[in-house]
Amino acid sequence: MDFLVVHSLLLREPNLLLPLLELSNIDKEDSDCYQLKVLKSHESLDLSDTGRVIYVVKGHLLQQVNNLKQNKQTVNAIWMEHDFIFHNVFQATHYEYIALGHTEVAIYDANVVLQELSDQAFFPDLLIDTLKHQETLFYQYSHMLTKSVQERVIDIIKLLSTREKDGYHIPKTVNYLLLSKCCQISPHTAKKAMQELELANKIIYKDGKIILDHNSDYSDS
C-alpha cells in the first residue's frame, strides 16, 4: 500500500485498522478467518480460546469477569461502536462479552490479521496506537471505580445513553442489575442512587422517556 492510499485513508478514517482489514486479502467467506455476528441484548458472544480481533460494528459489548465460586459477575470494560478488542492475542484472558442492546460484531482470526498486515511498514505504529487506546479505556474504567456511588452511576448512564438537547435519554437496557455490574455495587445500592437522582430532579420522566439532566452534578450518597 503506497503513501497516497494511506494518506487518503487518514483523511477519512480516525482508525486505520478497519480500512486496512477491508483492503486486505482476508477471505471473508472462510468462517475460520472471519465472522459477522448479530447479538440480541444480554446475549453472550461465543468465542473459542484462540486469538481473535473483535470489531464492534454497532452497539455495546460489556467485558465481564465471572467468579463461579461466588456466583458473581463483574464488568471491567465497556466497548463502544468502532472499538477493536484483541481477545487472547497477547495474553490468555477469560473474559465473557455480553451484548447491551442490539449489537453487531465482526470477528477476525488474530493470526490471519497479524500475518496480513505485518508487511505494512507502519503496522507496528498502528498496533501500538490501537493498544494505547485499549489501555486508555481500561484506565478510564478503573478510575471511574474510585469515584462515589452516585458519580459511578451518572458516568455509566451518560456512557450508555443517547445525548439529546434535553438531556441523556436512558435506554431500557440500563437497569439496576446492569448498573450494579458496571459500577461494582449491589442492585439495592444502584436503585437507591437512581432514586436519589430522581428526588433531586436530575432524572425526569418525559413523554414515556427517562432522561438524565445535562447538568447533573454529584452529591454525597
C-alpha cell at 173: 437496557
pLDDT by 10-residue block (mean), the chain, 221 residues: 43 61 81 91 85 92 78 80 87 85 93 83 76 82 89 92 92 90 91 93 91 72 41
Q: Where do the domains of the chain lie?
A: 3-144, 149-212
Asked whether 81 and 46 are in contact (CB, 8 A), the reply is no
Confidence (pLDDT) at 5: 44
Alpha-helical regions (H) of 161-201: 176-183, 187-199
Report d(CA 130, CA 85) in Å as an integer. Answer: 9
Dihedral angle computed from the Cα positions of residues 88, 89, 90 and 93, in that order, rounded to the nearest 10 degrees:
-10
Report d(CA 62, CA 74) in Å as an integer. Answer: 10
Confidence (pLDDT) at 10: 41
Q: Which of 62, 60, 58, 160 is nearest to 104 (CA)?
A: 58
Determine if the pTM surpasses 0.95.
Answer: no
Asked whether 33 and 111 are in contact (CB, 8 A), the reply is no
Asked whether 52 and 92 are in contact (CB, 8 A), the reply is no
CATH superfamily, domain at 3-144: Jelly Rolls (2.60.120.10)
How far is CA 107 from its chain centroid?
15
**3-144 and 149-212 share one fold:** no
Looking at 1.10.8.640, 3.40.50.1980, 1.10.10.10, 3.20.20.140, the CATH number of the domain 149-212 comes to: 1.10.10.10
What number of other Cβ atoms are within 10 A of residue 133's Cβ?
13
By CB neighbour count within 10 A (0-12 exposed, 13-18 middle, 19+ buried), where does 91 fall? exposed
Confidence (pLDDT) at 221: 41
Confidence (pLDDT) at 217: 62
Q: Which of 167, 162, 140, 168 is nearest to 152 (CA)?
A: 140
